[in-house]
Amino acid sequence: MAGIVGVIVVNLISQIDEEKTINKTKVFLEENLPDIISFSGMPLSDLSSPRLDPAGIAGGSNVNNTDKNILKSVHKLRAIQIYKYAMNAVLETINSCPDTERKPYKRILFRKYIKNDFDQWIYNDLHISKSTFNRLKNKAVLEFAKRAESYRMKYAQYDDAVSVLFYGTVVSR
């Protein structure tokens, strides 16, 4: 039985179109992620360790709000929370990636897509060539894509809107 499962897993992994997956994931990381970071309201200094506590989101303590203003605030808070869930899913995915001398995927992903460091700064700090960096960056993006689904599902249990941020539509669980 275990042999059959192993064959199925190998077949699923071999069916992944790596180039298409890398390109699609780069679009997410380069085009969608900056908006998620901005709308989450999370300071860049907080992004190295995800914070799940929504405390401190509310603006003021004005007791004389009308029902309409309260409803607007609730909708804004919900939107912010959705982006925070998506941001936490991204951060946990990055943090789960290997970070070794030969596979510095976590460092590459974090510095490239969260901190927005220039490629040259990253490959100089890693003491690798530009071509090696580009190869490792593609491998890191592919690794991110392989791991992202489990974290998307983890946070989608709180709100299906997280799936919309990741995929543009709600993905069934």
> Which is more confident, 61 or 72?
72
Each residue's pLDDT tens digit, 80-110? 888 888 888 899 999 999 999 999 999 999 9
User: Does 109 reside within a domain?
Assistant: yes
User: Does 5 reside within a domain?
Assistant: no
User: Does 54 reside within a domain?
Assistant: no
* Buried-state track 108-127, b at ≥16 Cβ within 10 A, e below 16: bbbbbbbeeeeeeebbeebe
The identity of residue 172, as a single letter, is S
Q: Are 113 and 82 in contact (CB under 8 A)?
A: no
Range(s) of the domain holding residue 133: 19-45+64-167
User: Does 33 reside within a domain?
Assistant: yes
**What pLDDT is attached to residue 9?**
44
Q: Number of folded domains in the chain? A: 1
User: Does 14 reside within a domain?
Assistant: no
Mean pLDDT of 2-17: 52
Radius of gyration of the chain (CA): 19
